[in-house]
Chain A
Amino acid sequence: MRVSTLIKNAHIHPVTSKDFIGDLLIEGSKILDCSHKIFAQADAVFDATGLHCYPGMVEEHCHIGIHGEKTNQNSDNDTNEWSSPITAEVRALDGIKPFDHGFIDAIGAGVTTLNIYPGSANPMGGVGITLKNDLSVPYEDRIMLEESGFKMAMGENPKRVHSQTKTIMTRMATAEKIRTAFKEALDYQAKKEKEPEKTPFDMKHETLLKVLNGQLNAHVHAHQADDIMTVLRIFDEFGIKPMFEHTTEGHLVADELAQREITVAVGPMFTARYKMEVNNRTMKTPGVLEKAGVKHITLITDCPVIPIYDLPIQATMAVKNGLSQEEAIKAITINPAINLGIDDRVGSLEVGKDADFILTDRELLDPTHRVLYTYVNGKLAYNMKEEGLTI
């Protein structure tokens, strides 16, 4: 039997339409209605007068569960498969600790959908996964996208890591490794078509073919503008389009990104300038990108690089530095959902979508807000009164 809950008199922020004071009706795991006044019988009625209701937030780029928290340094860290610069065959799916403390922090912060990538040590790091942050069900049942995106990385990190293996000493080699990997995958495909019996299955090439065929989007870690442009150069050669992660110098090539209709994720913006490639980090970047016409700007914490509860605070700071308030809320809800291709299920409060929502005592972009309740798949997953603040 499906349980229904009626949330009454909340200040509802559907994100994809204008906010209003009204009601939200959920049944089972879905939103049944969201409007000014709902007259319906429900198993439970919740008076949310004075509270704000937002969709559960979507974190497009984090390492929660794969980079374990509350553990010692290495035992639970499966973020980077350092053994080779090209590890297209590995999947985040196989490295996640489903009960890691990071998931609990995310629920308390109101983040209900998490996209988790391998790290940035390798030019081709592996395949990401999108999870619904529903800790009441087994790991397998939380999976929204088993293969959510293909993680790549440019710039300092691959260079630093793989100079130790003498495979990459410069940015030139990072580009070369990527080109060669794509080319080898195409050769494999040609051979497979010609001589299927003589071509053994190769997981690495199969994954790269999904990227080259457009079945799997490449999400490329790139901070500097020159790294961004190198990616575009290579991807042009293979007729595909990347999405950028971090995009620290995106404001320097904003017009280029807009004209090419490239989507970008920006963040984490709350770090020190501890390496050269983030020297130009500025909280103005999202606003500049918006004004240039870049669509579906997404903000990311890269958690545990910065805490997951900083996701809406980055949006606050982006607004202070030129991003519109409307786009800032979208950048942590519907935009990442669109970029991951799950906007039919999450990212806004609309009829038919998953009943993932939060109730806060102040507006989400006010960093002094408290998340009082988090609902995931229609179930109450966090109650601040009982569990305390998770910051």
Chain B
Amino acid sequence: MKTLILFKNGTFWIEDELKKCDVLVEDGKIKEILSDSSETEAEVIVDLEGKYVYPGFIDVHTHVGIMEEKTGNFAGNDVNETSSPATPGVRAIDGINPFDPGIQEARNAGYTTVCVMPGSANVIGGEGVVLKTAGTVVDHMVVETPKKIVKMAFGRNPQWAWGNQKKAPYTRLQIAAIVRDNLMKAGDYMAKEEKKFDYNMEVLSGLLKKESVARVHVANLEDIETIKRVMEEFDVDYTLEHATALHTDKEVALSLKDVPVVLGPLNVAGKSFQSYDLTFNSVKILHDLGFELAIMTDAPVIPLQLGIIQMWLIDRLRLDRADVLRMFTINGAKMLGLEDRIGTIEAGKDADFMVRDGDIFDAQSTVTDTYIAGTRVGGACA
């Protein structure tokens, strides 16, 4: 028995512009976009008169559920498995609490898909997972991605986490060495005919077989270049996460044109530590160089509830607003290999909507309803 829902009379963000139309949803998927729905037999009608409907927001780099809010400092924090600097075999999904208020607020704010990854204390942190933001059992929230996600981190964070304990890695030299060493071992593991099953080696083998992608935390330019060197040596697919200084050298940036880049969190202060070059201007510089950027909150660094503020701040750069909206929707979907399923309002995709009472660039408009797969899961977020 299929359920047909008609989202009627809304103003939908479709093909980079606002269009007055109706959207027919069947079993959680967008079936058809209609200019005239008078002939349609829908079981449920959702009247969206006066409402603006956008694709649900996507954040490809968060720690929600695994770095829980409202639990004080440690109780709900499972983000960094700092028992060893390389823990490829651990999985974010095993530490996620779907009742984290950060997730609830995310869906109320119109974020419908998030990628949750381990933190940046370890050089190889473990596997990440993509979730829809509604549900009580994390396994049912998972969105399968074509490639698995392996979190890595270069630069100051692993240095602090480990060097401060007087353990390796003290230096950037050792960070690169740890990655090389692990990937070499994984190559040997793959070559062995008879082997003892090893979770760590299985995950790393996935990188060498291009069944997985390394999502690499990085800030400084020198680390960006080291990542490029190491990943190219092993022919591993990778993304640059944060990439705080990438915009400072156009030559380096252009040499990485084929690497997906996730910028952020940008609405944070304290230009100290590894973020000397942190600026919203990086969005414009890299966008103008042709990068299809996604913007992260790194939630809970910035709670997802407040993620849209970064979009309003990016609008100060006066880029094409359609391009800006892509940074919060389809660009992230492409990075995850999910562009056929989420990120825009079009036939065949999941009916994930952010419904607002005004234009999304008008800060006084609010999210009135959030839909995931055609079901209202939240809203009423100012």
Contact = CB atoms under 8 A, between A and B. Distances in A.
Given A270-B306, A317-B382, A320-B382, A73 B300 contact: no
Interface string B248-278: 0000000000000000000111111100100
Contacts of A388: 281
Given A270-B306, A274-B69, A69 B363 contact: no
Contact of B309 (A68, A270, A304, A305): A270
B286 to A, nearest CB: 15
Contacts of A127: none
Contact of B317 (A105, A283, A306, A389): A389
A320 B309 CA distance: 13
Interface in B174-188: none
A233 B273 CA distance: 41
Nearest to B279: A391
B301 interface: yes
Contact of B272 (A72, A272, A309, A317): A72
Given A320-B364, A320-B366, A270 B302 contact: yes
A253 to B, nearest CB: 20
Contact of A73 (B73, B272, B312, B382): B272
Contacts of A370: 316
Contact of B280 (A274, A316, A369, A391): A391
Nearest to A365: B363
Contacts of A321: 382
Nearest to A283: B382
A369 B316 contact: yes
Interface in B19-76: 69-70, 72-73
A275 B273 contact: no
B290 interface: no
B268 A307 contact: yes
B237 interface: no
B313 interface: yes
B70 A279 contact: yes
Contacts of B88: none
B363 A366 contact: yes
Nearest to B301: A272
A319 interface: yes
Given A272-B102, A283-B382, A307-B267, A391 B316 contact: yes
A101 B271 contact: yes
B95 interface: no
Contacts of B316: 368-370, 389, 391
B72 A276 contact: yes
Interface string B311-330: 01101110000000000000
Nearest to A301: B269
A68 to B, nearest CB: 7
A367 B267 CA distance: 12
Contacts of B361: 368
A365 to B, nearest CB: 7
A310 interface: yes
Interface residues of A, number: 41
A275 B102 contact: no
Nearest to B299: A272
Given A275-B73, A370-B316, A313 B273 contact: no
A70 B271 contact: yes
A308 interface: yes
A368 B312 contact: yes
A368 B70 contact: no
Interface in B222-265: none
A370 B70 CA distance: 35
B73 A70 contact: no
Interface in B351-382: 361-364, 366, 382
Contacts of A71: 272
Q: Which of A67, A68, A321, A391 has the most CB of B within 10 A?
A: A391
A58 interface: no
B299 to A, nearest CB: 8
A260 interface: no
Nearest to B72: A276
A317 B365 CA distance: 11
Contacts of A283: 382
Contacts of A101: 271
B337 interface: no
Interface string A257-280: 000000000000010111110010
Interface in B283-308: 299-303, 306
Nearest to A272: B300
Given A274-B300, A317-B382, A369-B316, A69 B280 contact: no
A315 to B, nearest CB: 11
Nearest to B101: A273
Contacts of A317: 306, 309, 382
B269 A304 contact: yes
Contacts of B300: 272-274
B77 to A, nearest CB: 9
Contacts of A319: 364
Interface in A275-325: 275-276, 279, 283, 301, 303-310, 313, 316-317, 319-321
Interface of A: 67-73, 101, 105, 270, 272-276, 279, 283, 301, 303-310, 313, 316-317, 319-321, 365-370, 388-389, 391
Given A306-B267, A368-B313, A391-B313, 5 more contacts: A69-B271, A270-B302, A304-B272, A307-B267, A389-B281
26 contacts: A69-B272, A71-B272, A72-B272, A73-B272, A73-B273, A270-B302, A272-B303, A273-B69, A274-B300, A275-B73, A283-B382, A304-B269, A304-B271, A306-B268, A306-B269, A307-B268, A308-B269, A309-B313, A313-B312, A319-B364, A320-B366, A365-B363, A369-B316, A389-B279, A391-B280, A391-B281
